[in-house]
Structure formats: C-alpha cells, structure tokens
Amino acid sequence: MTNPLPPGSTIGILGGGQLGRMLSVAAARLGLKTHIFEPGANPPAGQVADRVTTAGYDDLTALSAFAQSVDVITYEFENIPTEALDHLEALRPIHPNRKALATSQDRCVEKQFLQGLGLNVAPFAQIDTLDDLTAALATIGTPAILKTRRFGYDGKGQVKIDDIAEAKTAFAALNGAPAVLEGFVTFEREVSVIAARNQNGEVSCYDPGENVHLSGILHTTTVPAQLTLAQQTDAVILAGRILNTLDYVGVMGVELFVTATGLIVNEIAPRVHNSGHWTQNGCLIDQFEQHIRAVAGWPLGDGQRHSDVVMTNLIGDDAYSKGANIGLHLYGKDIAKPGRKMGHENRISPISK
C-alpha cells in the first residue's frame, strides 16, 4: 500500500450515530483511534470513541481543530454540507471521495451516473416545476414515486402518486424541494451488495443480502439471498464497476431490484450500510472493519461468509432478545422514539450454500 496508517493513528468520523459507533469499535480492534465530529449532544459513537467534538458543521474553528487532530476523515452519512467538506478537504484526505458523495447526495445525478455506466435504473425524470411533474407522469405513468433529490432516508421525503390527478398535491407536499419522479418497479425481491474498495484499487464484495422493508425502513436482511448464480455474479460485477468508476475508497451499499428482465440499481450509499450489519456475525471481517481498512490504506480483509445470517432491525420499542443464538447489537441510545433504529439482531446458522 502507498501509505498505510500505523496503529495509534486516528480516523476522524463525521457523524456520531450507530454507524459511527460500530466504525469506532472496528477501528479499535485494529489499534486505531477515532475522533467523532457530531453536532448533537451525547452521540452513541461517543461512548466508544477516543474523542468527541460537539459542534455544528458551520463551525470552521471546530472543523479545523478536528481535522488537525486526525490522520484521515470519513463519514457515516451522506448529507454533510458542502462548505464543511471544502474546509476539511484542504486539511486532510476524505474517503470516500467528494465525487462519490456528490453523486449519491442527489438522486437525479446518481441515476444519470448509473445510466452512464450502462446500468439499469427505474424510469425517472427531473422535477423542478408542476409542469415537469405533469409531463413526467404522462411518460412514466402511475403508480410512481416523487422523491426529493436530496436529504431523503428511510422513506422520508417521498410521496407515492397513484393517479395523475394527485400531481398538484404531491408536488406541494415537497415544499418546492428539487425532486425526481421515479417509475414504480415491479420486482421479485430487493437485494443489496456491500462492496469495498481500497486505495490500491482492490475490490471485495460480500455475498448479496436479501432485504425486506416495513413502513419504508429496513426490517430484515437474509443471507444468502435467493438469487441464481448468474444474478449473484451480475450483482457483484456491477457493484465493482460503480466503485472503480468513482475511484472509490471505502465501503458502499448498492441496493438492487431483482426483476424478470434483470437487475435494476435502486440506490447507492457511500458508506457502511444497514443491510451489511449481518457481516458482523457472518464473516471474519465485517463491513465496518473493511471500511476502516480501506480508508486507513490497509489491504482489505477476508469478507468470506462462515455462516448464514438473518439480520433483524430493532425499531423504536421493539422487544429484543437477551437470549442465546443471537448476536445482539444495541446502539446506546437513551430514548426509543417510534421509527428510531435502536439496535439489531443477527441470528446465525450453519452455512447452506
């Protein structure tokens, strides 16, 4: 590797939620420290990180001090203000890079990028005005989904349109935010590939997982996914193409629809991903360590699966099992709000294929 960070180095992480928490734990395993930057008080990651800075993304003094205290910067969520990134990037390397972040921050840019690679995406149209929406509905048809181009997650910032007559109400619901209309895809199943690429361009993908959502939030990921060998190969190859094209360093979540006519890319996330949490109990090296290895300039680890896994998210006040046979992961959050991710469970069994 060009410049692998030695043990004792510090990884700066933007965002102090559960993903930052699990990244911190993975870094600690490798003898690396983490420094969390997070505007909110008492972030879950703070309980396991070496340092925490509590400051806003507009606090340039805090951002500078943070950057100067770390060796490399990464992030656990994609909606980081551009000005903060500009400021940080002048001081320390940021992985994954700005291009990956800019591409995935905007649903319209993302889909154009994926189409440019020759990959299939749902039919879509950029929506800036009500006229755009009416015209797009005429082409794409209903049902369709109107989504904000930015800042959406877990089903937020989305309106389903079942009839063209709902166009005006739907458009108003987004409060003038730049949007994209997506055609509805009839799919057999949704899968995701957790892919990693390091600074030498080595790519490693975990076995695809099969996802089930409830109320727009990931409910379970099951590995192995029900895929033909051809579908599995396709999924891994297209993920590799995305990472290589972006000169990507780190872990990416690639969500795919499996349809009768092939795989359709739903969205990409330039970070560790909820649908990759199964790797914590199914693989020697999990997605969090893989991400840390990549951003630290290390060789990737072995992502081989040793067990089958069903990962179940614990949302709000979902009961969790203190019982046996389950790898339990709780995030250290004080208050269990409805819809809030509080933890997850990995139920493992001997490998079936």
Where on the chain is the footprint of its own copies (CB under 8 A)?
1, 4, 7-8, 21, 24-25, 28-33, 46-50, 281, 284-285, 293, 298-302, 306-307, 322-334, 343, 346, 348, 350
Q: Which is nearer to its own copies, 33 or 107 (CB)?
A: 33
Place of tokens 């600690």: 28
CB of 289 to its own copies, least distance (A): 9
Nearer to its own copies, 16 or 152 (CB): 16
Gap between the Cα atoms of 300 and 281, Å rounded: 18
Q: Closer to its own copies at the Cβ: 238 or 348?
A: 348
Q: How far is the CB of 270 from its own copies (least distance, A)?
A: 23
Q: Measured from the CB of residue 114, what is the shortest distance to its own copies in angstroms?
A: 29
Helix (H) or strand (E) holding 158: strand 158-161
The SS3 assignment for 235 reads helix
Nearer to its own copies, 149 or 293 (CB): 293
> Between the CA atoms of 19, 21, 26 and 29, what dihedral angle is there, to the nearest 10 degrees?
180
Minimum CB separation of residue 211 from its own copies in Å reads 22
Closest distance to its own copies from the beta carbon of 304 (Å)? 8
- Minimum distance, C-beta of residue 28 to its own copies, in the bound complex (Å): 5
Our CB check for its own copies shows the closer of 35 and 107 to be: 35
Q: Which tokens belong to 112? A: 């154009």
Angle between the 107-116 and 98-105 helix axes, to the nearest 10 degrees?
Answer: 110
Residue placing its CB nearer to its own copies in the complex, 64 or 307: 307
22, 97, 115, 168, 335 from 246: Cα distances, Å: 25, 8, 14, 37, 38
Tokens 């949007």 sit on residue: 179
Strands 124-127 and 72-75, by their bridges, are unpaired
At 42, the amino acid letter reads N
